[in-house]
Amino acid sequence: MQKTDDVQKRPRRRILAWVGWGVLVFVVLLVGGTIAWSQIGVSGAEAEPLAAVRANPDVTITDDAAGIVLSPSDGSSDIGLVFIPGAKVDPWAYAATLQQLAAEDDITVVITKPWLNLAFFDLRPLDAFTSLAPDIDLWMAGGHSLGGVRACQLATDADALVLFASYCATDLSDTDLPVLSIAGSADGLSTPEKIADARHLLPEAAELVEIEGAAHSSFGAYGPQAGDGTPTISDEDMTDQLTSLVGAFTSEVDSAP
């Protein structure tokens, strides 16, 4: 009788083993495929704008494993922005667009380095990045595209939120968090219509601004992007307008009681 039971159990054990190996192979392929996909087609930083940032005497650059810190060279900053890049965009591609915040408005900018180049895989809290500039008193969370979606999730640990061609999937409407949302009229991805449709998730006092002629890729220096519109604004004008908008917003946040 015992032999009969053993014979009956062997096929079951083989089936369980096959199922177990099949699940393991599937998980390995899924993880390996995701990692490979995250590294393919990453939009790199354009060489000339990045070189200009490195040559800017008014900006000090600190390169850390967690992020890139752009700070005023005179060390006068007490306000910071944690900026989360868009999906599969090199963090360095945003340095040229954000450098004037440090140079002109004394804002320390921490551009994060998301795990696998995708913000939704990066589960680190806000203080993993604010710790790179421990002397800052007031912190804004922000990000471009998918990075902005992630910034919304971290925003309750910040003093303010800045969305760059992005919108929230997290409901912040019941908070009193200061919010600035910047859209581009020529954005083919985070279109002004999509941003407006998600307006109800932001606090009532949130500021929504649209930059005429700006496309999705105008918010960084990484070249054209599939599915995007065609920008009619120059890189210089885009940087100036972003700097002015974020600088004015920061002054409002800093002066609020």
Residue partners of 103: CB distance under 8 A and separation at least 6 = 56, 58, 59, 72
Q: Are residues 14 and 117 in the same domain?
A: no
Q: Do 7 and 48 share a domain, yes or no?
A: no
Q: Are residues 10 and 65 in the same domain?
A: no
What pLDDT is attached to residue 36? 41
| pTM: predicted TM-score of the whole model, two decimal places | 0.86
Same domain, 20 and 123: no
- Residues of the domain holding 114: 44-255
**Closest to 121 measured CA to CA, from 216, 29, 34:** 34
Same domain? For 30 and 154 the reply is: no
Question: What pLDDT, on a 0 to 100 scale, did the predictor assign at position 42?
Answer: 80
Same domain, 64 and 26: no
Please, are residues 217 and 189 in contact by the beta-carbon 8 Å criterion? no
* Three-state secondary structure of the chain: CHHHHHHHHHHHHHHHHHHHHHHHHHHHHHHHHHHHHHHCCCECCCHHHHHHHHCCCCEEEEECCCEEEEEECCCCCCEEEEEECCCCECHHHHHHHHHHHHHHHCEEEEEECCHHHCHHHCCCCCHHHHCCCCCCCEEEEEEECHHHHHHHHHHHHCCEEEEECCCCCCCCCCCCCCEEEEEECCCCCCCHHHHHHCHHHCCCCCEEEEECCCCHHHHCCCCCCCCCCCCCCCHHHHHHHHHHHHHHHHHHHHHCC
Q: Which tokens sit at 78?
A: 């007490």
Which three-class secondary structure state does DSSP give residue 19? helix
Tens-binned pLDDT, residue by residue, of the chain (257 aa)? 545 555 455 666 666 556 665 655 544 433 444 444 445 568 999 999 999 999 999 999 999 999 999 999 998 899 999 999 999 999 999 999 999 999 999 999 999 999 998 998 899 999 999 999 999 999 999 999 999 999 999 999 999 999 999 999 999 999 999 999 999 999 999 999 999 999 999 999 999 999 999 999 999 999 999 999 999 999 999 999 999 999 999 999 998 87
Q: How many domains in the chain?
A: 2
Same domain for 184 and 223: yes
Distance separating alpha carbons of residues 81 and 162, to the nearest angstrom:
9
Q: In the prediction, which pLDDT does 18 show?
A: 60
Q: Which CATH number characterizes residue 217's domain?
A: 3.40.50.1820
Residue 17: predicted pLDDT? 59
Whether 22 and 68 have beta carbons less than 8 Å apart is answered as no
* Per-residue model confidence (pLDDT) at position 20: 60
Instruction: Please report the pLDDT score of residue 60 as a whole number.
Output: 97
Q: 239 and 158 share a domain? A: yes
pLDDT of the residue at 14: 66
Q: According to the model, what pLDDT value does residue 12 have?
A: 65
φ, ψ for residue 146, nearest 5 deg: -60, -30
Residues 27 and 152 grouped into a single domain = no
Q: 108 and 174 share a domain?
A: yes
Specify whether 90 is located in the same domain as 6: no
Whether 7 and 134 share a structural domain: no
